[in-house]
Amino acid sequence: MNKRVKKAVIPAAGLGTRFLPATKAMPKEMLPIVDKPTIQYIIEEAVESGIEDILIVTGKGKRAIEDHFDSVPELEQTLIEKGKSEFLKLVEETTNINIHFIRQSKPRGLGHAVLQAKAFVGNEPFVVMLGDDIVQATVPCTRQLISQYEITNSSIIGVQPVLDEETQRYGIVDLSSSVTEKLHKVKSFVEKPQLGSAPSNLAILGRYLFTPEIFKYLETQQVGTGGEIQLTDAITRLNEMQRVFAYEFDGKRYDVGEKLGFIRTTLEFSLNREDLKYDVMNMMEEILKEHSKSVSM
């Protein structure tokens, strides 16, 4: 019998250097896409996938994340008094979820961040969700991985194809064989392969489901690429002892961990909103006109 997947870990202790100076005093996970912090999209996906307990791994300068998911009695009272029930609902949405926090003392890498969740997870399967990727899908991405776990009883890594020239930015899977069109057995995982040397173009995109055995490998994992304890290296070792699958999930992935992806996501999400789309389209047209004038001058 499979154990039910009820727990999620969200590592959010990274330095966010790609968004400096904005992330000097503010966590990158709190940068908003339109009007919602990126981490809230991740929490919503977890809840919609049936997750009941969430652990956020935070670090220095990340207090705003804890505050965001705490209740704010004065704000709630003011909104009640002013009859602003639609805003009250938005504020309350973030406080009715079971969220726990733990600190990673130093940003020693994603693998080290996940290791901080060992006591919280115990002897259960769990998911790891990274805030750098927001996935819009009919069936939430994490729910898709859970369904594959229910079939295989094994660790499942969420992947999607990326362009050949982008493989050097990701963990890439080397496949051994395919079980179905989307579920693959994996030979090994390579963290950020050099351009031209990637074994495939299937990239690990911020969604993982692990059996608790991953902690055995994280505990003994040596420092790898970039001087950090890499989650990818521990997955490779886990795969040598226990089958790990890669699953090509359905859905559109938005990369909000780098500037261009963040701008694109903001634009696309606002175009998906009835209250904003026409104004945003007009505004974009105006901006493009102005810029094409200055380019042709």
Instruction: Verify binding: residue 193, ligand UTP, rule CB under 6 A.
Output: no
Instruction: Verify binding: residue 13, ligand UTP, rule CB under 6 A.
Output: yes
Confirm if 175 and 202 have CB atoms less than 8 A apart. yes
| Nearest approach, Cβ of residue 165 and ligand UTP (Å) | 19
The window from 101-109, 164-172, 217-225, 272-280 that contacts ligand UTP (CB under 6 A) reads: 101-109
Instruction: Verify binding: residue 15, ligand UTP, rule CB under 6 A.
Output: yes
Find where tokens 């000097």 sit.
24
CB atoms within 10 A of CB 62: 23
C-alpha distance from residue 52 to each of 1, 6, 108, 150, 159 (Å): 20, 5, 28, 17, 24
**b/e burial code for range 21-55 (CB count within 10 A of at least 16 → b):** eebeebbbbbbebeeebbbbbbbbbbbebebebbb
Reported as type and span, the H/E element at residue 19 is: none
Task: Considering the complex, state which of residue 11 and residue 158 has its C-beta at the smaller distance from ligand UTP.
Answer: 11
| Interface map 218-247 toward ligand UTP (x if CB under 6 A) | ------------------------------
Task: Considering the complex, state which of residue 15 and residue 183 has its C-beta at the smaller distance from ligand UTP.
Answer: 15
Residues 103-122 that bind ligand UTP (CB under 6 A): 104, 107-110, 112-113
Task: Considering the complex, state which of residue 91 and residue 223 has its C-beta at the smaller distance from ligand UTP.
Answer: 223
Reduce the secondary structure of 102-120 to three states and give it as a string.
Answer: EECCCCCCHHHHHHCCHHH
Where do contacts with ligand UTP occur on this chain (CB under 6 A)?
Answer: 11-18, 28, 57, 104, 107-110, 112-113, 130-132, 257
